[in-house]
């Protein structure tokens, strides 16, 4: 547990001993979304709970670098998408100046690294080092996500690393949706494509993909095995202890996020998908809302269950 989490726990404990009700200045909760469907899903779940408690969620779509800058400048209250170790550089920068608080680890069991369609893997491409000998079939190109994302920077470093033999290769930066559209086109034509992949995400059920080994130095072991953390701007736990308590207890699972993202992929609006998921799985609220009040100071659990029809 970081010193920020320890400080937050102490603050919440003291606030709970007296009264956890937040002031009206905390009524709007500003969240950051880099445009990734997993964070869109968790933001939607958080937003439904916040709304049931009487708060107003305000989700701002910001690229990863701008989102971290906004958090450090206190223009964003909470970010549910601190993927580690992929975002280590951004996290270190915030920690070096005490600009963020870690509220909790909200997801384990994630992964994040390069992948290819399984029909490509069946022809011998199972490690990043297998890419170079098939440059022509891949058009010497790797597809990534939005410009400035830490994962893209890792890919660029891999291209520059002589160990992989990728000299002359290019990274194509795009949105998550643009990258997956390219994968879909390639799969339909049985063309070769290398791209950034991660779980949880519907891509794991929409496509038959194989994660590549060999990128441990850049994405971490176990195919980029990742953990996702919830960060808040410095001071949020002291100013808004009730909301911070909620976020410190708001944890997800890979299966939960996969179900949410599948609903989004089918065209369901995020908040509607979140409300439907919570209505079908109300017991998750017991842990999320333990000791949490509404903005008006009433018990939070019954208020949220009533708001989702549970």
Give the helix/strand (H/E) hosting 180: helix 176-189
Structure tokens given for 182: 């390219």
Per residue in 167-181, pLDDT tens?
999 999 999 889 999
* Strand, helix or coil for residue 62: coil
118 and 184 in a single domain? The answer is: yes
Q: How confident is the model over 113-160, as pLDDT tens digits?
A: 999 999 999 999 999 999 999 999 999 999 999 888 889 999 999 999
Q: Hey, which residues does 57 pair with through a beta bridge? A: 29
Choose one of 181, 203, 224: the last residue of a domain.
Answer: 224
Cβ-in-10-Å burial (0-12, 13-18, 19+) of 124 comes to exposed
Structure tokens at 51: 């709304």
Distance (Å, rounded) from C-alpha 215 to C-alpha 226?
A: 13
Which of 176, 199, 224 is the last residue before a domain boundary?
224
Contact indicator for 288, 45 with CB cutoff of 8 Å:
no
Q: Residue 218 sits in a domain of what CATH number? A: 3.40.190.100
Q: Same domain for 102 and 170?
A: no
| Same-domain pairing of 77 and 90 | yes
Task: Report the distance separating Cα 153 and Cα 150, nearest Å.
Answer: 5
- 146 and 217 inside one domain: yes
In the chain, what percentage of residues exceed pLDDT 90? 78
pLDDT of amino acid 148: 86
Pair of tokens at residue 235? 């001071």
CB burial class (10 A; 0-12, 13-18, 19+) of residue 153?
A: middle
Q: Could you say which of 197, 224, 251 is where a domain stops?
A: 224
- 227 Rama sector, left if φ>0, alpha if ψ -120 to 50, beta otherwise: beta
Task: Answer yes or no: do 211 and 189 share one domain.
Answer: yes
pLDDT at position 293, please? 97
Range of 15's domain? Answer: 3-108+227-307
DSSP 23: P
Q: What are phi and psi of 41, to 5 degrees?
A: -65, -50
Residue 310 has what pLDDT? 62
Peptide bond into 85 cis (omega under 30): yes
CB count within 10 Å of CB 138 equals 21
- Ranges of the chain whose pLDDT falls below 70: 1-20, 310
Give the contacts of 175 (CB within 8 A, at least 6 positions apart): 35, 145, 146
Based on the domain organization, do 99 and 233 belong to the same domain? Answer: yes
Q: Are 229 and 105 in contact (CB under 8 A)?
A: yes
Predicted TM-score of the model (pTM): 0.76
Contact 228, 110 (CB under 8 A): yes
Tell me, what's the pLDDT at 14? 40
Q: How many independent structural domains does the chain possess? A: 2
């Amino acid at each position: 547990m970081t010193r920020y989490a320890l400080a937050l726990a102490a603050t919440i404990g003291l606030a709970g001993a007296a009264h956890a009700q937040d002031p009206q200045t905390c009524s709007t909760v500003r969240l950051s979304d880099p445009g990734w469907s997993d964070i869109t899903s968790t933001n939607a779940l958080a937003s439904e709970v916040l709304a049931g408690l009487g708060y107003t969620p305000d989700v701002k779509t910001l690229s990863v670098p701008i989102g971290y800058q906004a958090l450090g400048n206190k223009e964003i209250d909470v970010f549910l998408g601190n993927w580690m170790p992929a975002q280590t550089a951004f996290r270190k920068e915030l920690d070096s100046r005490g600009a963020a608080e870690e509220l909790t680890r909200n997801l384990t069991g994630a992964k994040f690294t390069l992948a290819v369609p399984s029909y490509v893997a069946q022809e011998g491409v199972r490690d990043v080092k297998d890419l170079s000998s098939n440059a022509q079939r891949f058009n010497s190109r790797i597809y990534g996500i939005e410009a400035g994302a830490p994962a893209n920077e890792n890919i660029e470093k891999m291209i520059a690393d002589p160990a992989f033999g990728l000299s002359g290769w290019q990274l194509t930066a795009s949105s998550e949706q643009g990258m997956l559209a390219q994968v879909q086109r390639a799969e339909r034509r049985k063309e070769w494509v290398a791209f950034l992949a991660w779980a949880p995400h519907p891509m794991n059920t929409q496509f038959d993909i194989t994660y590549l080994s060999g990128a441990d130095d850049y994405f971490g072991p176990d195919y980029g095995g990742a953990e996702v953390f919830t960060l808040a701007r410095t001071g949020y736990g002291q100013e808004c202890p009730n909301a911070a308590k909620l976020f410190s207890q708001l944890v997800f699972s890979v299966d939960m996020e996969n179900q949410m993202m599948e609903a989004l992929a089918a065209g369901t609006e995020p908040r509607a998908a979140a409300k439907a998921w919570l209505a079908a799985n109300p017991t998750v609220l017991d842990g999320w809302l333990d000791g949490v009040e509404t903005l008006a100071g009433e018990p939070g659990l019954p208020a949220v269950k009533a708001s989702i029809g549970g």
